Amino acid sequence: MKYVIVIEDGASDYPIEEIDGKTPLKVAEKPALDRIAREGRTGLIQNVPESLPPGSDVANMSIFGYDPLLYYTGRGPLEAASMGVETKDGDVVFRCNTITERDGLMASSNAGHISSEEAAELMEYLNEYFNDKYPGFKGKFYPGVSYRHLFVYNDKENAEKLAKLDMVPPHDFVGETIADKIEFDSFADEVKSIMLESKEALENHPVNLKRIEEGKEPSNMVWFWGQGTMPAMPSMKEVYGLKGAVITGVDLIKGLGVCSGCTNLDVPGATAFFDTDYNAKGEYAIDALKDNDIVFVHIEAPDEAGHAKNLEEKVRGIENIDKHILAPLLEALPEYGDFKIAVLPDHPTPIDVGTHTRDMVPIAIYSTVDEPDDVQVYDEDSVKEGSLGELTGCNLLKLLLE
């Protein structure tokens, strides 16, 4: 039996007035996904426990078959695992965004999607700046992709408290006052001061002066969030007896691959934005089934569109997944004998909200061994009539293995 889980990040939505109260899933042309619903079983699934924030880290950990209430320690550590960052006792790993601050506001949570090359130069400079100014500096910046980076801070005395610090994701308060989101407990004063001083360090950096000259958003500050200590997760082989592969352009998801003992496949052109190579992801997913029992295919584009409140790109992302990933998989899977393919978002990222919500999301599972229900199309409302009912995310793999 072969298993495929396709994660359309943030694809589900709320009714949108602009499209007559429909959602992107209802207006998108998605014949492959509708076929999976029509010939499979459908329902709703809750990937985010009530006590945890509705982040992609929590939601995708559930989809990978791990209860976040047991294993979740923060987003930063998962991205550190992906990047091969080694940690030691007392280390707290923060996700570090390059942001644009303007007049005290969070003007951009991604510095206008700064390039990885530009951002790496800024991260290197911040390491030099803080180490020169503060001998024995307890932190280190690690460059990642575009605006997504890491900051590792060592504080054995306060590590546990820092890991639980309530730090707001920058994409949750774009256009709002930064000072309102930075009132931390006294034990975190140094972490707060590093963020604030990064503005002084970066303001006149040549990279930013050039970006301003070119009419782009400067990356004139960093923002820490999603912090935690490294999780201890058993491998997917140990828990489920499955050899797995992961396809994604997002470090967070790659980190889940590392922590679960799956193989992360390096797909050329796989990005975490609208320009990702959907076709390449589909081809690699099909090929990965030769040597793996389960393949996770994650696509970030619908989520990015939700954050940007870009309806056109969200619909386009759903349609590209359908055409270049789901349709080829449905054609190729029968060659491997019996199979099950599940399709679901991790969480909604509604256009009108611009960030994640914790609502249940639609799921469809098409299988060569299960009878279909009566649902004919895949969307937020139709699946409510499906035979799967309401599921808990971390039980998805158990369900597939039944």
Output phi, psi for 55, to 5 deg: -90, 165
19 domain residue, yes or no = yes
Q: Which helix (H) or strand (E) element contains residue 365?
A: strand 361-367
- Residues 304, 208 within the same domain: no
- Let me know whether 136 and 252 are in one domain: no
Residues 129-152: tens digit of each pLDDT:
999 999 999 999 999 989 999 999
Residue 294 lies in a domain: yes
At residue 128, the pLDDT reads 98
Q: What is the pLDDT of residue 387?
A: 98
The answer to the question of residue 94 being in a domain is: yes
Q: The CATH number of the domain where 321 resides is what? A: 3.40.720.10
Structural domain containing residue 96: 83-228
CB 162 within 8 A of CB 188: yes
Q: Does residue 269 share a domain with residue 146?
A: no
Q: What is the separation, in whole angstroms, between the first and last Cα of the chain?
A: 11
In a shared domain, residues 307 and 391: yes
pTM: 0.85
Q: Are residues 260 and 386 in the same domain?
A: yes
Residues 370 and 252 in one domain: yes
Mean pLDDT, rounded, for 147-165 = 92
Do 297 and 325 contact (CB within 8 A), yes or no?
yes
* Most distant CA pair in the chain, distance: 67
Average pLDDT, the chain: 95
| Residue 373 pLDDT | 97
Element of type H or E holding 226:
strand 221-228
What total of structural domains would you count in the chain? 2
Domain end marker among 228, 253, 268: 228
Q: 340 and 257, same structural domain?
A: yes
Q: Is residue 77 part of a domain?
A: no
